[in-house]
Structure 1
Amino acid sequence: MMARFRSAPSPAVLGQFLLLALAWGSSFLFIKIALEGLSPAQVVLGRLLAGAVALLAVTAVTRQRLPRDPAVWGHLTVVSVLLCVLPFSLFSWAELHVPSGLASIYNATTPLMTLLVASVALPEERPDRTKLTGLLLGFIGVVVVLGPWRGLSGGEGLAQAACLLATLSYGLAFVYLRRFVSPRRLPALSVATVQVGLGAVIMLALAPLTATDPMRLSWPVTLSVAALGVVGTGLAYLWNTNVVAAWGATNASTVTYLTPVVGVVLGIVVLGESVSWNEPLGAVVVIAGIALSQGLLSFGRRSAPDHSDDSRR
């Protein structure tokens, strides 16, 4: 049977989607390098500060106004915690114990987590039987990646659980952004600037408690944090806001189809990380489950094209 994909999205949104995949896929490599001289909290603080500075500079050059509605700032505070502070912290800590490529594979579960949250919070995205089948297939893939038959040390097991908790946080953020922020049709740049800036403020406030370890700065560490901030946090969240607004919460989260490919390849080529057979196999199963659950891939022929979603694109 032949697979059938939906019609192609607009080139502008697709371009931002691909850039987002490259930025977030390489982030796991940069986190691993940055951890050679910084604690997890310091990595998060550095990337959010760099991202906020980059976005504020673009905002100033383009003379983009920031939102003034206190309700918007309240919503963006929630998004900042769910999309920046919490998952960044969890992934940074996890990479003390697991390879960067494996962390990027777990990041691919974001659409599954998004579907779980969307099924409750977004009536138009509640799963039917096909989506539930895809969801089940995806979580089978997670188990394959985890490889429980190999046995796990305490640190590695907790680290992999932290990766899954981070993707659940992403899922919550995607849905919250779609429900409470995207309908306001605010400029993507102002949304991303406030979101990342609030994350930097939160981490600065927590720094006396969480970021007190001695730092061992080097050029690779410094440049990695800068790349995480300017590209992986600053520009990436601008692109992400545009994609969520154009495609919806669940479809936008499928950017994680590509991030594990980028993350695993960079981990092997740059860091010399090894990959167990079950990890890429599990990633393929996860992605197949996501494709099925999102309706991006179907099997068989239909008597007529399906245009039921055209009004929402």
Structure 2
Amino acid sequence: MRKSWLPAYIALGLIWGCSFIFIELGLEFLTPFGVAFVRCSLGAITLLIVVRSRKIALPKDKSTWRKLWIVALLLNVVPGILFAFAQQYVTSVLAGIINATTPLMTMVFMLLLFREQKLKREQIIGLFIGAFGVMVVLGIWKGIGDNQLLGVAALLLAVSCYGYSFPYMTRNILPLVLKPEAAATVQLILAAITLLPLYLFDGIAEDNYQLNSLLAMLALGVLGSGFAYIWNFSIIAAAGGSIASTVTYVTPVVAVFVGWLFLGEQITWHEPVGAVFVILGAAITQGRFTSKVVGK
């Protein structure tokens, strides 16, 4: 009998959903560079301890490290900075909802990079529904202020990096057949090294080290950028990648709730309504509602 994946699934949905409020609190004493560096450094330390305890060897080939450095740029460095930068202008609620467009961005890049793949009707429908959902979330009919527009643009660019990373990894990382824990550890080490000069240049916003902000960054790094990888791997091993990917639909729900509960962020009616369309569009593009014929 396979180990139950539900506890890891719940933990992953909660921690990734709370990551946006952790970023918000981290910005009370760190700059966007600082937030990105601290979370990657703590995540790298956490995973180093895990791989050492499990006696998992890290890859030694230089070309492998170069490829994983590109993954680090796409999944950790650039999005880590952009999400923190954006949350200076938008709420954690909006950041959590925009993050749910990751499957849509992935589909776009898969179609751009893998030209042999034909665009299915349900994928076109899903992309349009998701795009409509984003416009509803933003309340596009009311207009967008300059600051909010800057934040939203940063969020969409960050999510685009996520979207591009998956086809890149499919082509360049999966054929290497690396241990997932080893790949994630190297990825976070390289991300932390890349971000270190930026942190030293401008990492601390002000000397205001409140306990809740410090704990938020500790949780973001150790749990959100460390154990989250392990939980994700365990879900994939126990339930498959299809089930694991559905956590994307849980995180915006958690983000909306915790942003309202703990930060007192106001939620307008169109944000949760738009989030439903975003999640629905993502689910359709992933074929969640496509009937499967068994035995054919």
Q: Equivalent residue for 2:72?
A: 80
Match of 1:226 among 194, 218, 227: 218
Quote the residue 1:205 is aligned against: 197
User: Counterpart of 1:127 in 2: which secondary structure?
Assistant: coil
Q: Deviations over 1:207-258 (max 9, x none)?
A: 233325433212111111110000100122344456679856x986543211
Residue 134 of structure 2 corresponds to residue 146 of structure 1? no
Following superposition, the deviation at residue 137 of structure 1 comes to: 1.1
- Inter-partner Cα distance in structure 2 for 1:244 and 1:207: 34
What is the number of equivalent residue pairs in this alignment? Answer: 294
| 8 Å CA contact retained: 1:45, 1:203 | yes
Please state if 1:167 is matched with 2:159. Answer: yes
**Corresponding residue for 1:60?**
52
Q: Deviation string for 1:43-90 (max 9, x for gaps)?
A: 111111111111111122222110112221111100000000111111
Q: 1:71 aligns with which of 63, 66, 70?
A: 63
Query: Structure 1-normalised TM-score?
Result: 0.86
Residue 20 (str. 1) matches residue 8 (str. 2): no
- Tell me which residue corresponds to 1:103: 95
In structure 1, list runs of 5 or more residues that go unmatched: 1-9, 309-313
Q: Distance in 2 between matches of 1:296 and 1:151?
A: 33
TM superposition shift of 1:179: 2.4
Deviation readout 1:130-159 (Å, 9 max, x if unpaired): 111111111111111111222222111110
Distance verdict in 2 for CA 1:155–1:65, change over 3 Å: same
Match of 1:6?
A: none
1:184 to 1:203, Cα distance in 2 relative to 1, 3 A? same
Residue by residue over 1:248-272, the C-alpha shift from the partner in whole angstroms, topping out at 9 and shown as x without a partner, is 6x98654321110010111111111
Letter in 1 for 2:269: W
The residue aligned with 2:125 is 133
Kindly provide the amino acid, as one letter, of the partner of residue 44 in structure 2: A
Change in CA separation of 1:86 and 1:251 when aligned onto 2, cut-off 3 Å: farther
Conservation of the 8 A alpha-carbon contact between 2:129 and 2:280: yes
1:196 aligns with 2:188: yes
Structure 2 distance, partners of 1:100, 1:18, is 20
Query: Quick one: structure 1 residues 195 and 82, their matched pair in 2 at CA, closer, same or farther if it must change by over 3 Å?
Result: same
Q: Is the 8 A contact 1:39 1:213 kept in 2?
A: yes
Distance 1:92 1:194, change over 3 A: same
Query: 1: CA distance between counterparts of 2:184 and 2:248?
Result: 19
The reply on whether 1:305 has 2:290 as its aligned counterpart is no
> Does the residue aligned with 1:296 lie in a helix, a strand or coil?
coil
Maintained 8 Å contact 1:144/1:278:
yes
Deviation above 3 Å: which 4+ runs of structure 1?
10-19, 122-126, 212-215, 238-248, 250-254
Greater mean deviation of Cα atoms: 250-259 or 199-208 = 250-259
TM normalised by structure 2 equals 0.90
